[in-house]
């Protein structure tokens, strides 16, 4: 017998009024009861496209659905051999195009900034680390964002989930950067149920927002993966599918803290390692959430004209349960395990489906690709670093991309053995940098933790010893060269064998570096403390605070000018906050 609210295949037109009534009841039930988990039989029917859609879109502009997972490791999807069950991701990827030469950045803020601006970090000033909660810093306000360009093309733009692109001023908030609505968190992490985040002793606050205000009234203590899915279902239930929609769904999962509803643990009791078991449960919940989003797209008439893009923001963190095997390194590093990501595109609009794309694709490419699909316009002076890669994905053609600047971080800890001499006088190899040109990848400086972490490393004590897989970097070494096509696991360093290629890539690094803007990484501001802002993380910096107070008389003003020498502010450094402790 069919379950309540099911959309039956093969419904005759005469039954359309009854079906619309049922659909209305279904929407009402969804809005009242929240998160909906349908039976596997129904899921298989609708995922196979056997259920009718409720509307037929008339716009030539496709609906754009971008789903970003947080800290999902390269191995942590079924089709990469994981023991974690991801049936929805496996099925969507198998029916779409798997991106198997796809790169992101090694940590949260850089990937998100490059997705939303189409620019490398060196061109936005976000080269170093992430945006910290107390930092007066955000995505540069002079950068035209992806949602802004899509709005110009007539799209409704909605964001649900994790922002992590700064919020110290109201102008930095998602709804001021192109989104019609925002529901989610501003910070990089937090409790999945209470939505509180502590950034140190005495600096704890609430971090759940509805547009520009704390979402106290929307908070029911629901697990964030499920809560965000509920919001997406509400957006789809109320939006007209004949009008183009851009939906950016940035899940908090599977980032630490490792929390998941108890029912998702039942398949993973055999996993001994506690972190890995919790991580697996979180990923299963995420997989189910993607299923429910896809089903809602079908139920509300969006699916046939939708392009669904799925991506992780960086590699997994083994100490928090993630696995990048057989790749080297982890989150926070420029080894392949930190930057090569799970990614795929699923859409009825793809010309070739059920295929694998091995062309070079980077997260900056989504900006020009999606704007082109939306029939939008990119300004001639935009100076994007991304490319339109739709034909490479949809038709199997060659990608216009031949290189990727993974990053140049001039203030990261310098490699002790690095020098200009080691860089042939072209580049100071003490500086942390990484670049890919065709098959070749070059790393300089300190690339980060470099071990391979095989699956058997997840013992009950956690991944602390890999035995023969452990690598100790040679003392004084500051340059590595790999042929990534032939050696994707970075086991054979070729820098000594091919010094000519090393020089060529160092010159390319130098060329990129000449276009870099100053790093934006200001010290923390004590005014950011949630205790000073109603217990909430949120905008604290006000332009009025920069205005000078009226002087009582000219003589007093002259005395103050003689006593005070104004220090110049560096370009792009944000407001001067002298009371803040430095962030390193």
Q: What angle do CA 532, 129, 502 make, to 5 degrees?
A: 170
Q: How far is CA 412 from CA 348, 448, 582, in A?
A: 44, 11, 14
Active site residue 439: no
Q: What angle do CA 569, 573, 578 make, to 5 degrees?
A: 65
The catalytically annotated residue of 164, 195, 239, 300 is 164
Q: Angle between the 16-33 and 224-238 helix axes, to the nearest 10 degrees?
A: 140
Cα–Cα distance, 217 to 349 (Å, whole number):
39
Q: How far is CA 397 from CA 13, 102, 129, 358, 516, in A?
A: 41, 15, 35, 10, 31
Q: How far is CA 485 from CA 100, 293, 489, in A?
A: 11, 35, 9
Taking a C-beta distance cutoff of 8 angstroms, is the pair 65, 249 a contact? yes
The CA R_g of the chain, rounded to the nearest whole Å, is 25
Q: How far is CA 340 from CA 103, 106, 452, in A?
A: 5, 9, 14
Taking a C-beta distance cutoff of 8 angstroms, is the pair 286, 253 a contact? yes
Instruction: Look at the alpha carbons of 51, 55, 57, 62 in this order and tell me if their dihedral is positive or negative.
Output: negative
Which residue, among 24, 29, 27, 23, has the nearest Cα to 8 in the 3D structure?
23
Cα–Cα distance, 333 to 335 (Å, whole number):
6
Active site residue 362: no
Q: Where are the beta strands (DSSP E) in 313-402?
A: 343-346, 355-357, 361-362
Q: How far is CA 449 from CA 268, 330, 429, in A?
A: 28, 7, 17
The catalytically annotated residue of 80, 108, 158, 239 is 108
Phi, psi of 405, rounded to the nearest 5 degrees: -85, 105
Phi/psi-derived region of residue 223, left when phi > 0, alpha when psi is between -120 and 50, beta in every other case? beta
Q: Angle between the 40-47 and 87-95 helix axes, to the nearest 10 degrees?
A: 10
The residues assigned a catalytic role are 108, 164
């Amino acid at each position: 017998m069919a379950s309540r609210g099911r959309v039956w295949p093969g419904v005759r037109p005469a039954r359309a009024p009854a079906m619309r009534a049922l659909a209305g009841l279904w929407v009402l039930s969804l809005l009242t009861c929240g998160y909906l988990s349908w039976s596997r039989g129904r899921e298989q029917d609708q995922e196979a496209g056997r259920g009718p859609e409720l509307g037929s879109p008339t716009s030539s502009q496709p609906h754009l659905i971008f789903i970003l997972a947080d800290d999902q490791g390269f191995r942590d999807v079924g089709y990469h051999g994981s023991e974690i069950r991801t049936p929805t991701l496996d099925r969507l990827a198998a029916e779409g195009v798997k991106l198997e030469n796809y790169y992101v950045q090694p940590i949260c803020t850089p990937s998100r900034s490059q997705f939303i601006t189409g620019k490398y970090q060196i061109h936005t000033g976000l080269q170093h680390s992430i945006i910290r909660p107390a930092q007066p810093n955000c995505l540069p306000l002079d950068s035209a964002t992806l949602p802004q360009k899509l709005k110009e093309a007539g799209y409704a733009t909605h964001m649900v989930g994790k922002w992590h692109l700064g919020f110290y001023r109201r102008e930095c908030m998602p709804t001021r950067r192109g989104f019609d609505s925002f529901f989610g968190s501003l910070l990089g992490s937090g409790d999945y149920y209470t939505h509180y985040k502590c950034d140190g002793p005495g600096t704890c606050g609430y971090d759940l927002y509805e547009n520009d205000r704390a979402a106290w009234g929307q908070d029911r203590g629901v697990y964030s993966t499920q809560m965000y899915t509920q919001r997406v279902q509400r957006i789809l239930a109320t939006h007209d599918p004949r009008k183009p929609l851009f939906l950016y769904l940035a899940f908090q999962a599977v980032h630490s803290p490792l929390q998941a509803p108890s029912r998702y643990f039942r398949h993973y009791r055999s996993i001994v390692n506690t972190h890995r078991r919790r991580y697996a449960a979180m990923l299963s919940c995420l997989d189910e959430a993607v299923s429910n989003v896809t089903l809602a797209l079908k139920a509300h008439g969006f699916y046939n004209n939708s392009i669904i893009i799925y991506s992780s923001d960086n590699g997994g963190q083994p100490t928090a349960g993630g696995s990048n095997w057989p790749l080297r390194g982890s989150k926070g590093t420029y080894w392949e395990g930190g930057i090569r990501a799970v990614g795929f595109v699923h859409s009825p609009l793809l010309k070739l489906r059920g295929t694998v794309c091995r062309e070079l694709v980077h997260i900056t490419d989504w900006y020009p690709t999606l704007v082109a699909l939306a029939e939008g316009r990119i300004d001639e002076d935009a100076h994007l670093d991304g490319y339109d890669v739709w034909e490479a994905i949809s038709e199997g053609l060659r990608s216009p991309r031949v290189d990727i600047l993974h990053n140049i971080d001039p203030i990261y800890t310098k490699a002790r053995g690095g020098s200009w001499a080691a860089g042939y006088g072209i580049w100071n190899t003490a500086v942390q940098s990484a670049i890919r040109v065709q098959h070749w990848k070059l790393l300089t400086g300190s690339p980060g933790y470099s071990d391979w972490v095989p699956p058997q490393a997840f013992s009950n004590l956690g991944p602390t010893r890999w035995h023969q897989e452990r690598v100790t970097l040679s003392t004084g070494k500051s340059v590595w060269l790999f042929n990534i096509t032939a050696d994707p696991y970075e086991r054979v360093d070729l820098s000594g064998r091919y010094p000519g290629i090393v020089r060529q890539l160092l010159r390319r690094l130098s060329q990129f570096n000449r276009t870099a803007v100053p790093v934006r990484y200001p010290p923390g501001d004590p005014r950011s403390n949630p205790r000073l802002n109603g217990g909430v993380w949120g905008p604290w910096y006000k332009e009025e605070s920069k205005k000078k107070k009226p002087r009582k008389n000219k003589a007093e003003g002259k005395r103050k000018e003689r006593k005070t020498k104004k220090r110049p502010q560096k370009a792009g450094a944000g407001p001067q906050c002298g009371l803040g402790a430095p962030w390193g």
